[in-house]
Structure 1
């Protein structure tokens, strides 16, 4: 293979030559070979140029069934961020299915070699080892088990004079997960008994704790522990302790060992025998349930050693506790020795008890604070996972693999993949492999601290909610709320906060009835909170949202309006809770046909969110989206399209062209273009959005149905009526089945079918549709709703086409009353209804009534100065003049029939 040649298949037993290409990487040198694979120094060529360590795993070959899981695993590995972990930059597979990992290149030396070369003291070695444990704990919290911890994978380098340990080679964790059968991955001398047995289902984080125990023994004594039966499943389980191994050293070996550790042999043996023997023994227990439960627990015990506190691994005794106390307070003890023996003993015992209690409390408080920080960090990291993008990446990777390896089945594979949701696969894997494991760990590790366990479960629930698992999140919040109800009382702020989050999750999971049950009880319990309490305000906001979702929008509007006024008065307009209430009220007003009122709120809200949250914050972008919708609903089409195009560009830049949020903004842009008289531009955009929504979410998902309805509207505009009516019927049937026949969304689509029938030349079908649904829609949606007003407009036009002038006149009268009440006498929609009614009355001979309508509504528009009219009013005036001129000319030219 010549330099810069792309590597094809991996030849068994042969290393890659210098200059070979593997993905974006060019091989520069072979660094080492092992049972699992080879490690190379490589140059990354794009998108950035840097030196990496590239590990090629020869022992594993991925088949097609494992590609999706490998994609999720490599995403998780790349998300590990810790100073003691070598960053994994990338991962992939060779053309013949061998996985490889590109990771941070570390020029350090193995931890044992580094410590000996620099003659580090026992304390310095342990401090360095603690940093390693912290890195391993970080990986465990990410759901990743190393499986091959040994000095060669624990490198130490120096940066600006500071020792920095790095854990490398986490790739073996992924390779092992993807392996089949009972193949054992790892290094036998450092392998736990359960890992050596070959049953990988038994391997968990405690297997890494075992390997850390082996490394610790080697750091302390220069030798690995001589374990008979410890790495096999036999009955012999004896372990020679580190202090015992020192007694077997030859004088020459003992001198070399002591020179590297700055210790005398008796002192080193004493320290090991009294304390550190117990640490190594506990870390390497044959029964994993008897080991340290985590790498963090091992590190904590070693920290206690460095700080002269009693170790958890050492059997408790008064003498041991006293010795540790004396070590911590040597100066005080020396001074106290000058006093009488009785006073010394009494004073020391009293002080010991007090200081011990304070120290234990301080340790507990520090541990809780650290755990809270870790939980918050992990929560933010997991919440930031883009599930949809991860799913799209999995799908893309699968298609590429199939096209490359089995192109003859690519077409059928792609067809089947279109019916699957790779985002759901990624979401399920993260839920099962990370979050479920986290919950089990919380139950196991924090049984003695249920309050902290509840806080951690709350963090897991928040992650689930952010990842699009609202049902599971609601169950987690419910568990947290139940504990806090019993421990602190149902009226406590922490319990009410959990209930509020549970209700929000239930609403997001489309379970408003269940949410109402939670909210009713929570609001009763929250009656004692101050009126300006944010939890109380959010509970009331959730209540209004649930009522609106269940269909009683007028009541929800009153609740939202009163709540917003109270929040502004008590917390101010720029408060986050107040802004959320304003946003939800504006949306509800738009849905109820009061778009002008909703727009007024949004025009004020958008600049506030930009100033308080930032222009690219999710809530700010959401407000911009809502404002664009309000502008189009109020007739400001050009401004709406401009703002919506900006949103599409922003989300494409932030998230990518095929991200769900980008697709949502694209769908909105298609609607606005259609409403602006540009359906040809809107059609391909709407088709793109529907295809993506159906593939990712399924045919019955609300977002898919919305995309289907939008496309139907555009198809009707370009006169492809058969396609439009088929899509509308599909949406109506699905909403009736899922939401019920009288739900606002169901009635909206049922009314929307009438104008399509009419435009398709089927006025009888349009009237039949309106007769069936317009009365109940008016009752549910309200007189101000545009869809209700549209229904009366179409009824009038269909009746006129069928020659039923009485029904046409009655419909226009009703429409005029509705529009004037909702929009005012000067609105062009009101004028249009009055002008049409005037025409029918004049043809019927009712001149007095027609003249009255013209004088009140039409004449003021026609006589107004053009400078006083907006573009829509000018177009309306021109339409009236042109139509009436054409009618007058037709009347003059009409032949007389005798």
Structure 2
């Protein structure tokens, strides 16, 4: 067969997959009965014979490597896959080939990395490939290359479209930039952030090496290639065997090369090898010309030399700077036994951070001289001065007594430290055992044919932890706390609450943690409660943490706790209390060099939301713009968090009547979001809702309905966004006069809000208010008025009688009165709403213009066409200051003005206006819309 016989390869694969698990006689019968040509049958028989000679664990994997990988992956430059065009190959590995590609459909200019599975991939390879897609879809972190898209080739090869990272391996970047030791460590901490984030999502990378850690020209770290990652998800994975396939031996851990279970400790070792490379320019086990057997023996049995003694090209990389703590940190991460390494990536990060702050590190055994040396290095001037004064005053005897006392204190400290080290070792050992048990529970041998998913594995781990460790309460409390965090990360918020409470109760029973640790645990409990929609319990937990922190202040922990408290207050419908708490957190972040990093940005984001809630739109817009700039600098223009900021800033601009800017940001966010998010993603759905709201104001009713319906026609788990989307579409339907559809959407929205939010939550005020108006028009008049009155009261209690939400209530009462013919009441409601709105909105703001429309409609309803004409002319002038020239809402207004001209002696001009604007109205409103029907009625008057 020729190298270009892709259809033949597809047939071979189908026959091979069908036959591989059948007995020999059944295989032959199936092959004889197939319609395949003789060369194809011979090739299948040859591959089956090879497969039969292989060990079961290798059978499906190795055949492809030896036989058909290069044959089946020879894509040419210019070949198109979906909207992407191949440019060149940029890498290949055990799970596929990676190409540089670019999007060519004209909708979105972007270079991407496109990874394609082999066309003769085995079931095992395809499973790994699809697993990588699931892994990447779950990981959204600034230091992890993001999944953008996916698809399949014509011959059914799956492919992934990933963020293209234009960078260099971290080791090359450090060398080329001639980074000093501290700069390399700070860069390494970003790698740890990414790995730790993956671990929190139950994902182990298992192939950390310089080639999988790229650094861009701006200095941003990106972790790549989760192709050999391990995820606790399915019984298809054998937790007892780790294949060497796809790994680089120079950076593999002892347990990997021995085929033993891999845990998060495997990634700690991988990070250790990377750190060693950054220190020395070499891997801890250089391969050179050694055989694989010798390399494996070295990895398993030979401890690498301390980095400070390693030479490259005859020189030592950093010389004496690596002696002591750097040597010890790398050595601890590279221990042969997983339980002797750092128990987590977080511990490794913490030790490096301590080293950078010139504080004692865990990897170096404590001693008085060591601690004193660290103290002197942090405060050299003060230490020298103190020592001089001390020696001058105390003399030799006093110095001797002082040293004796210090030795006694050091002895006591060592005893305490030994106890703490023993407790931490017990916890680390138990944690390693817990992870091992979780992996083993997913193995086919223990699963007995069942599919074991993440939830089952966690439940097994929770039960095992609860049923054991009765004589080790401190270890048990720590493990339960860890499991609570994992439950939280996987969206099981109520389970996280229960486990965190259990951990706290156990800690209380054995004297418990210190105040700072207990405050941190209570603060996390508050966050878990909030996600579980128990805002009252969240508030009490966070207030308890606040009280403890007043007794033992910790500025950073206090800032985090206040930030969490602010979010709870906002969701509880108490924006002013939220602002107080968030400002307390922000005052701390402002003092930090990085303004608090991600956490500080999140605080400012929530602060902007709260200012928006009290109608301080200029402050909200300023904060949202700051957050947007920070996110663009940190993540880039297309990151999910950046897109979230686009639509929040646009929302503020809508309130400030800066509609052109609002439309620009919303259109950018929506169109970009559709290309990088799944349809059920919360950011995309929130953006769709906001974009549709702006389109409604501008008169693009059809487009607004289409966008909202597209977002609602997916199975999404976030119920709050579903409720908000339904409310927005219900309002749009109502604006168009489609009452049945409006009522159905608003009823569904109301039901969801009642189930997930307290009655006082302002998030649902608008949708419930719209429902009240719709109820008055659909047969539930009294209940509708009662609901409007209730929302008005709740709004006044939270925001005051002069809040713009009260003005919105009057606007709805005015529309109801106009519809019901109670014309004498309409103007009083309009006047009251106007008085309030003038405090918040410019005279040409859409909210003010809606009142102008009502006034003009009232004049026409009263047959006062002269006044109606005057009001419509003024309205049109204000609208033209606000909306783009092609906005359909202008055509609707011009058509209404034309009708008044028919009655005021300028019939020809009126007919012209009606005729000129009818096409625009018909193009942007469905036939059921009131605007559409009114335009047709006016046009019919001309016939």
- TM-score, with structure 1 as normaliser: 0.53
Show the counterpart of 1:136. Answer: 260
Give 2:34's aligned residue: none
- State the Cα RMSD in Å: 6.3
Q: Which residue of 2 aligns with 1:731?
A: 749
Query: 1:166 and 1:808 mapped to 2: Cα distance?
Result: 91
Distance 1:693 1:550 in 2: 27
Provide closer, same or farther for how the CA distance between residues 777 and 134 of structure 1 changes in structure 2, counting only shifts above 3 A: farther
Aligned partner of 2:96 among 48, 54, 62: 48
Does residue 750 of structure 1 match 2:756? no
Show the counterpart of 2:628: 606
- The aligned counterpart of 1:236 is none
* Aligned equivalents of 1:165, 1:78: Cα separation in 2: 32
Q: Are 1:505 and 2:528 matched, yes or no?
A: yes
Q: Indicate whether 1:537 and 2:559 are aligned.
A: yes
State the SS of the aligned residue for 2:541: helix
8 Å Cα contact 1:53-1:103 kept in structure 2: no
Q: Deviations over 1:369-393 (max 9, x none)?
A: 99879989x99xx9xxxxxxxxxxx
Displacement of 1:709: 1.8
For residue 587 of structure 1, the aligned residue among 601, 609, 618 is 609
Q: What secondary structure sits across from 1:30 in the alignment?
A: helix
Q: Determine the C-alpha separation between the residues in 2 that align with 1:55 and 1:447.
A: 49
What does residue 29 of structure 1 align with?
50
Asked if structure 1 preserves the Cα contact closer than 8 Å seen for 2:533 and 2:757, the reply is no
Q: Which residue of 2 aligns with 1:432?
A: 456
Aligned partners of 1:693 and 1:704 also within 8 Å: no
Q: CA deviation at 1:711?
A: 2.7
* CA pair 36-580 structure 1, distance change in 2 beyond 3 A: closer
Within 5 A, what are the aligned runs for 1:318-337? none
**1:160 pairs with 288, 294, 311, which one?**
288
Give distance in 2, aligned partners of 1:828 and 1:129. Answer: 63
The whole-number CA distance in structure 2 between the counterparts of 1:660 and 1:686 is 13
The gaps in structure 2 that reach 5 residues or longer are 1-7, 32-38, 74-94, 98-116, 125-133, 139-197, 210-224, 267-284, 302-335, 343-409, 439-449, 908-943
The verdict on how the C-alpha distance between 1:22 and 1:135 changes in structure 2, with shifts beyond 3 A counting, is farther
Select 2:903's aligned residue among 874, 883, 890: 890
Describe the shift of the 1:140–1:80 C-alpha distance in structure 2 as closer, same or farther (beyond 3 A). closer
Residues 1:811 and 2:833 aligned together: no
Deviations 1:280-311 (A, max 9, x none): xxxxxxxxxxxxxx9857999xxxxxxxxxxx
Distance change (3 Å), C-alpha of 1:624 and 1:31: farther
Per the alignment, in what secondary structure is the counterpart of residue 562 of structure 2? helix
Cα deviations by residue, 1:12-59 (Å, 9 ceiling, x for unpaired):
246899978999x987933635689955512354683599998889xx
Please identify, of 706-715 and 825-834, the stretch whose mean Cα deviation from structure 2 is larger. 825-834
Relative to structure 1, the CA distance from residue 640 to residue 871 in structure 2 (aligned partners, 3 Å threshold; closer, same or farther) is closer
Match of 2:710 in 1: 688
Q: Secondary structure at the match of 1:136?
A: coil
Q: CA deviation at 1:368?
A: 5.4
Does the CA-based 8 Å contact 2:604-2:627 persist in structure 1? yes
Measured in 1, the distance between the counterparts of 2:505 and 2:782 equals: 58
Q: Does 1:12 align with 2:23?
A: yes
Q: CA–CA distance in 1 between the matches of 2:765 and 2:476?
A: 47
> What is the correspondence of 1:657-736 to structure 2 with a 5 Å cutoff?
657=679, 659=681, 661-693=683-715, 696=717, 701-736=719-754
| CA drift at 1:814 | 0.9
Where in structure 2 are the equivalents of 1:55-70 lying within 5 Å? none
Cα deviation for residue 881 of structure 1 reads 9.9
Do the aligned partners of residues 821 and 830 (structure 1) sit closer, same or farther apart at CA in structure 2, a change above 3 Å counting? same
Report the alpha carbon displacement of residue 618 of structure 1 after superposing the two structures with TM. Answer: 5.4
Indicate if the aligned counterparts of 1:475 and 1:502 stay in contact, CA closer than 8 A.
no
Q: Distance in 1 between matches of 2:851 and 2:226?
A: 68
1:797 and 2:812 are equivalent in the alignment: no
Match of 1:546 among 568, 576, 588: 568
Work out which of the residue numbers 79, 82, 90 in structure 1 matches 2:206.
82
- What's the offset of the Cα at 1:536? 0.9
- Following TM superposition, by how much is the alpha carbon of 1:602 offset from its aligned partner in structure 2, in angstroms? 0.3
In the TM superposition, what whole-angstrom CA distance separates every residue of 1:608-656 from its partner, at most 9, and x where no partner exists? 2333455566544443342233334444444334333433454455444
Q: 1:799 to 1:366 in 2, by over 3 A?
A: same
* 1:683 shift after superposition: 2.4
Partner of 1:188: none
Change (3 A) 1:610 1:483: farther
Judged with a 3 Å threshold, the aligned counterparts in structure 2 of structure 1 residues 100 and 535 are, in CA distance, closer, same or farther, namely closer
1:518 to 541, 548, 551: 541
Post-superposition shift, 1:540? 2.1
Q: What are the equivalent positions in structure 2 for 1:617-696 lying under 5 Å apart?
A: 619-657=641-679, 659=681, 661-693=683-715, 696=717
Q: Secondary structure at the match of 2:456?
A: helix
Higher CA-based Rg: 1
| Alpha-carbon distance between aligned partners in 2 of 1:434 and 1:620, rounded to the nearest angstrom | 33
CA contact (8 A) 1:674 1:714 kept: yes
Corresponding residue SS for 1:644: helix
Three-state SS of the structure 2 residue aligned to 1:515 is: helix
Paired with 1:648 and 1:803, the residues of 2 have a C-alpha distance of 41
Count of residues in correspondence between the two structures: 604
Q: Secondary structure at the match of 2:528?
A: helix
**Distance verdict in 2 for CA 1:721–1:586, change over 3 Å:** same
CA drift of 1:504 comes to: 1.0
**1:462 corresponding residue in structure 2:** 485
**Aligned partner of residue 823 in structure 1, secondary structure:** coil
Question: 5+ residue gaps in structure 1?
Answer: 58-67, 92-96, 112-127, 143-156, 169-215, 220-293, 301-353, 383-424
Matched, 1:478 2:501: yes
2:699 partner SS? coil
